[in-house]
Amino acid sequence: MVNKALLFGWITSIIAMMGSLFFSEQMGFIPCTLCWYQRILMYPLVFFLGMAFYRNDKEIYKYVLPMSVFGMLLSGYHYALQKIPSMHEFSTCTSGVPCSGQYINWLGFVTIPFLSFIGFTVITISMLVLWKRK
Protein backbone atom coordinates (compact mmCIF):
# COMPACT_ATOMS: atom_id res chain seq x y z
CA MET A 1 0.00 0.00 0.00
CA VAL A 2 2.89 2.36 0.77
CA ASN A 3 4.42 1.98 -2.68
CA LYS A 4 1.03 2.49 -4.30
CA ALA A 5 0.43 5.71 -2.34
CA LEU A 6 3.88 7.01 -3.30
CA LEU A 7 3.41 6.03 -6.94
CA PHE A 8 -0.07 7.56 -7.09
CA GLY A 9 1.16 10.82 -5.57
CA TRP A 10 4.17 10.91 -7.89
CA ILE A 11 2.10 10.26 -11.03
CA THR A 12 -0.38 12.93 -9.95
CA SER A 13 2.43 15.48 -9.52
CA ILE A 14 3.85 14.60 -12.95
CA ILE A 15 0.44 15.01 -14.60
CA ALA A 16 -0.08 18.34 -12.81
CA MET A 17 3.33 19.63 -13.89
CA MET A 18 2.89 18.48 -17.49
CA GLY A 19 -0.62 19.93 -17.59
CA SER A 20 0.53 23.34 -16.38
CA LEU A 21 3.39 23.34 -18.90
CA PHE A 22 0.98 22.33 -21.66
CA PHE A 23 -1.37 25.21 -20.83
CA SER A 24 1.42 27.79 -20.76
CA GLU A 25 3.81 26.53 -23.44
CA GLN A 26 1.47 24.92 -25.97
CA MET A 27 -1.78 26.80 -25.45
CA GLY A 28 -0.09 30.14 -24.76
CA PHE A 29 -1.90 30.82 -21.48
CA ILE A 30 0.11 33.29 -19.40
CA PRO A 31 0.15 32.19 -15.74
CA CYS A 32 -1.06 34.70 -13.16
CA THR A 33 0.73 35.29 -9.85
CA LEU A 34 -1.31 32.69 -7.96
CA CYS A 35 -0.68 30.17 -10.75
CA TRP A 36 3.05 30.72 -10.32
CA TYR A 37 2.80 30.11 -6.58
CA GLN A 38 0.93 26.87 -7.23
CA ARG A 39 3.64 25.81 -9.68
CA ILE A 40 6.31 26.62 -7.10
CA LEU A 41 4.57 24.23 -4.71
CA MET A 42 3.82 21.47 -7.25
CA TYR A 43 7.00 21.17 -9.32
CA PRO A 44 9.33 20.11 -6.47
CA LEU A 45 6.85 17.38 -5.56
CA VAL A 46 7.73 15.60 -8.81
CA PHE A 47 11.32 15.28 -7.61
CA PHE A 48 10.51 14.59 -3.94
CA LEU A 49 7.90 11.93 -4.64
CA GLY A 50 9.98 10.36 -7.42
CA MET A 51 12.98 9.99 -5.12
CA ALA A 52 10.77 8.72 -2.30
CA PHE A 53 9.23 6.10 -4.59
CA TYR A 54 12.66 5.01 -5.80
CA ARG A 55 14.01 4.77 -2.24
CA ASN A 56 10.72 3.52 -0.73
CA ASP A 57 10.90 6.42 1.74
CA LYS A 58 7.88 6.19 4.04
CA GLU A 59 8.79 9.42 5.83
CA ILE A 60 8.42 11.72 2.80
CA TYR A 61 4.97 12.78 3.96
CA LYS A 62 6.70 15.05 6.51
CA TYR A 63 8.00 17.20 3.66
CA VAL A 64 5.24 16.78 1.10
CA LEU A 65 2.17 17.32 3.30
CA PRO A 66 2.91 20.97 4.17
CA MET A 67 3.42 21.79 0.49
CA SER A 68 0.36 19.90 -0.72
CA VAL A 69 -1.95 21.25 1.99
CA PHE A 70 -0.79 24.82 1.36
CA GLY A 71 -1.23 24.19 -2.38
CA MET A 72 -4.80 23.01 -1.73
CA LEU A 73 -5.56 26.17 0.25
CA LEU A 74 -3.97 28.42 -2.36
CA SER A 75 -5.70 26.78 -5.31
CA GLY A 76 -9.01 26.76 -3.42
CA TYR A 77 -8.65 30.50 -2.80
CA HIS A 78 -7.74 31.02 -6.47
CA TYR A 79 -10.79 29.05 -7.59
CA ALA A 80 -13.00 31.13 -5.28
CA LEU A 81 -11.55 34.30 -6.83
CA GLN A 82 -12.64 33.02 -10.23
CA LYS A 83 -16.10 31.78 -9.32
CA ILE A 84 -17.34 34.21 -6.66
CA PRO A 85 -17.73 37.69 -8.19
CA SER A 86 -17.69 39.47 -4.82
CA MET A 87 -14.17 38.10 -4.20
CA HIS A 88 -12.70 39.83 -7.26
CA GLU A 89 -11.95 42.86 -5.10
CA PHE A 90 -9.69 40.68 -2.90
CA SER A 91 -7.51 39.62 -5.82
CA THR A 92 -3.81 39.89 -5.02
CA CYS A 93 -2.48 39.46 -8.54
CA THR A 94 -0.08 42.07 -9.85
CA SER A 95 1.59 40.34 -12.81
CA GLY A 96 -0.70 41.91 -15.40
CA VAL A 97 -2.79 38.75 -15.74
CA PRO A 98 -5.90 38.85 -13.54
CA CYS A 99 -6.23 35.90 -11.16
CA SER A 100 -9.99 36.02 -11.68
CA GLY A 101 -9.57 35.32 -15.41
CA GLN A 102 -10.58 31.91 -16.74
CA TYR A 103 -8.68 30.52 -19.71
CA ILE A 104 -10.80 27.37 -19.58
CA ASN A 105 -14.21 26.73 -18.07
CA TRP A 106 -15.15 23.16 -18.91
CA LEU A 107 -18.65 22.07 -17.90
CA GLY A 108 -19.13 25.46 -16.25
CA PHE A 109 -16.89 24.72 -13.26
CA VAL A 110 -13.58 23.09 -14.30
CA THR A 111 -10.91 25.79 -14.45
CA ILE A 112 -7.12 25.55 -14.15
CA PRO A 113 -7.13 26.34 -10.39
CA PHE A 114 -9.81 23.65 -9.96
CA LEU A 115 -7.52 21.13 -11.66
CA SER A 116 -4.68 22.30 -9.41
CA PHE A 117 -6.90 21.85 -6.35
CA ILE A 118 -7.73 18.29 -7.43
CA GLY A 119 -4.03 17.50 -7.94
CA PHE A 120 -3.00 18.87 -4.55
CA THR A 121 -5.92 17.05 -2.90
CA VAL A 122 -4.98 13.71 -4.44
CA ILE A 123 -1.36 14.16 -3.33
CA THR A 124 -2.49 15.16 0.18
CA ILE A 125 -4.71 12.08 0.45
CA SER A 126 -1.86 9.88 -0.81
CA MET A 127 0.44 11.32 1.85
CA LEU A 128 -2.19 10.84 4.57
CA VAL A 129 -2.49 7.18 3.53
CA LEU A 130 1.30 6.92 3.71
CA TRP A 131 1.32 8.53 7.16
CA LYS A 132 -1.40 6.19 8.43
CA ARG A 133 0.32 3.06 7.06
CA LYS A 134 3.88 3.86 8.18
| 88-93 CB contacts, 8 Å cutoff, 24+ apart | 92/33, 92/34, 93/32, 93/33, 93/34
pLDDT tens across 23-70, in order?
A: 999 999 999 999 999 999 999 999 999 999 999 999 999 999 999 999
Report the CATH fold assignment for 2-133: Bromodomain-like (1.20.1550)
Q: What is the pLDDT, as a whole number, of residue 94?
A: 67
Q: State the amino acid at position 127 in one-letter form.
A: M
Enumerate the domain spans of the chain.
Answer: 2-133
pTM (two decimals) = 0.93
Kindly give, in sequence order, each residue whose CB lies less than 8 Å from that of residue 4, ignoring residues fewer than 6 positions away.
Answer: none
Q: What is the pLDDT, as a whole number, of residue 101?
A: 86
Q: Give the DSSP letter of residue 107.
A: T
Q: What is the rounded end-to-end Cα distance, in angstroms, of the chain?
A: 10
* Distance (Å, whole) CA 47 – CA 19: 16
